[in-house]
Amino acid sequence: MKKKNTLICLAAALSMSLNTFAQIETDEDYDDGLGLYYDEEEDTVQKPKHKEYKNMLHVQYSPSQYHFDGATPHLHFQEFSMGWAHIFQVEEEKPYFVELGLQAKYSHSGGDDAHQHAKYSLLTFRVPINVSYKLYLSSHRDIALAPFAGVYMRATAVAHEKLGGTKTSLLDHKKANTTGAEWEWAQLGWQVGLRMWWQRYFVGVSYGRDFPDDSKLPQIHECGVHVGVCF
């Protein structure tokens, strides 16, 4: 009888052990499965993606100086322009950009005593190429500072001097003008600036000038302020 009772006790203990082990295995499987679910959820949830615009339009005001060779005083011009640029993002999720654009500019000067108060009017086209970098100031990336720098090619389509009722083309080297210089219709230059972005709108300041070359006159030095919108 004693031996029989011992066997019954061993059987009961073994049964309890098996039940406990099974319960532990079930809990571990449940925990593992729950953890796997969380991992899968983290991997599949998409984060909101910031939109970088591909095009921008802007208008600019530029008080500029036109420099000439020798003792000829420089001329002050008031310039107004409108421009467009296409924006290329160098690498996805990286705030490096290349801007390729086209700008049309109207320039006017009333002259001064040194230039016999002649009036000047110009129509110029520029092709700027800039590289820029955005420094985001908010977690939503809707506010940013963007320094930029680049080069441009400038082409003068129309350039007139009006003196005493007579209008002369400054691009006609056969005719004299009050600046005493032969105006070149094309030139290369460089520019730097800084923009403040807010969502799709921006405002910026810039400085640019022609590459120094005494054989290509006038040499233009330009300060500018611009505002624009992206789309």
The per-residue pLDDT for 99 is 98
Give residue-wise pLDDT tens across range 169-185. Answer: 999 999 999 888 899 99
Average pLDDT over residues 71-93: 92
Average pLDDT over residues 98-119: 92
From CA 165, how far away is CA 202, in angstroms rounded? 42
Average pLDDT over residues 105-123: 90
From CA 21, how far away is CA 15, in angstroms rounded? 10
The per-residue pLDDT for 92 is 82
Tell me the CATH number of domain 55-230, given options 3.30.465.10, 3.30.460.90, 3.30.750.24, 2.40.160.20: 2.40.160.20
Average pLDDT over residues 66-90: 92
The per-residue pLDDT for 8 is 56
The structural domains of the chain, with segments of one domain joined by +, span 1-45, 55-230
Query: Kindly report the CA angle at 103 between 212 and 62, in degrees rounded to 5?
Result: 65
The per-residue pLDDT for 73 is 87
The per-residue pLDDT for 35 is 42
**Is residue 29 pLDDT above 70, yes or no?**
no
From CA 211, how far away is CA 221, in angstroms rounded? 10
**Is residue 154 pLDDT above 80, yes or no?**
yes
123 is written with which tokens? 């129509």
Give residue-wise pLDDT tens across range 31-59. Answer: 444 444 434 444 454 444 557 899 999 99
